[in-house]
């Protein structure tokens, strides 16, 4: 079997006074899926340890959680005080070796975004009900966002308990 490609995705939310979800819209100038709405996320890379250490504290090895931490502040500018792993997604098991850990993050504080050069993402808020409609009507087709919505629905309905961790 080939090497697994590791990645993370985030379901960010806050209560103000109603539950709001953070999503990003991909740049219209990208070749793949321009303008697509998605939960923030990305692939694990060697720089994750340094990037996360600069924003949080040292963690021993590059992990999917570190990737989630990095993507959170790079793409949205937010830091989270609490984290919970929802599960793992294998997007297309027939030909892809990628797996994506899906994380929940809350107790957010805003800082400065650190987008990759040439990257443009619009951050916006959406209610769970509105996101669910966008998933059902085909406006959202991203696998990690559709899967994240599944976990979110189950968390909100009390069918899936999350084990919350404090920020490192």
| Catalytic positions, written as ranges | 117
C-alpha 152/C-alpha 156 separation (Å) is: 6
How far apart are the C-alpha atoms of 116 and 80, rounded to whole Å?
Answer: 20
110 neighbors 77 (Cβ within 8 angstroms): yes
The distance between the two most distant Cα atoms of the chain, rounded to a whole number of Å, is 48
C-alpha to C-alpha distance for 122 and 129, rounded to whole angstroms: 20
């Amino acid at each position: 079997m080939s090497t697994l490609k590791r990645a993370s995705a985030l379901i960010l939310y806050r209560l103000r006074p109603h539950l709001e979800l953070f999503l990003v819209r991909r740049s219209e100038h990208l070749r793949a899926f321009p303008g697509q709405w998605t939960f923030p996320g990305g692939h694990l890379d060697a720089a994750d340890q340094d990037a996360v250490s600069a924003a949080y504290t040292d963690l021993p090895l590059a992990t999917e959680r570190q990737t989630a931490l990095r993507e959170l502040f790079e793409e949205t500018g937010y830091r989270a005080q609490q984290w919970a792993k929802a599960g793992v997604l294998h997007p297309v098991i027939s030909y892809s070796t990628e797996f994506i850990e899906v994380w929940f993050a809350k107790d957010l504080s805003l800082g400065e975004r650190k987008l990759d050069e040439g990257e443009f993402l619009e951050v916006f808020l959406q209610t769970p009900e509105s996101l669910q409609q966008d998933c059902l009507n085909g406006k959202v087709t991203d696998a990690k966002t559709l899967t994240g919505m599944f976990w979110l629905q189950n968390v909100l309905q009390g069918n899936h308990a999350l084990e919350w961790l404090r920020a490192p």
